[in-house]
Amino acid sequence: MNFVSIRIITDDVARLVDFYERVTGVQARWGNEDFAELVTASATLAIGSTRTVPLFAPGSAGPADNRSVILEFVVDDVDSVYRNLTGVVEDFVNEPTTMPWGNRALLFRDPDGNLVNFFTPVTPEAVARFAR
């Protein structure tokens, strides 16, 4: 098995795609107006419209309703990224903070309220965990 993607369901695909393109620097690949993907080296962030939900199971997912999942991205320098996101991100949950497990992390919300964590491994142990 290989984990390949996570999908966010939203009422406004264009707005959310624009946000993620701006914060990640990754250009989206559009399937149609109801679906786009931001493909990175390790996984894909898919963004789908609420209009796609009935194709899976009516009522099985809803927009702006996540309170348990955090989307996480490894970045080279979280402090620099934080400075560059000022004016793009409206809801920072915290500024870059070094966590007990060795990552320097920045937590913010996307326009639908989903939590996003940009982090940089900073201790030798954390760096080793994310070495590619």
**Residues 82, 38 share a domain:** no
Task: Find, among 31, 29, 33, 27, the residue nearest to 14 by Cα.
Answer: 33
68-96 pLDDT per residue, tens: 999 999 999 999 999 999 999 999 999 99
**Residues 125, 88 share a domain:** yes
**Residues 85, 32 share a domain:** no
**Residues 113, 76 share a domain:** yes
Task: Find, among 67, 24, 68, the residue nearest to 47 by Cα.
Answer: 24
Domain with 5, as residue range(s), is: 1-50
Q: Report the distance separating Cα 94 and Cα 42, nearest Å.
A: 25
Q: Could you tell me the CATH number of the domain that includes residue 122? A: 3.10.180.10
6-56 pLDDT per residue, tens: 999 999 999 999 999 999 999 999 999 999 999 999 999 999 999 999 999
88-128 pLDDT per residue, tens: 999 999 999 999 999 999 999 999 999 999 999 999 999 99
Q: Is the pLDDT of residue 132 over 80?
A: no
Q: Report the distance separating Cα 33 and Cα 50, nearest Å.
A: 11
Instruction: Please report which confidence band the pLDDT of residue 130 belongs to, taking 50, 70 and 90 as the band edges.
Output: confident
In a domain, 56, yes or no: no
Tally of domains within the chain: 2
**Residues 74, 132 share a domain:** yes
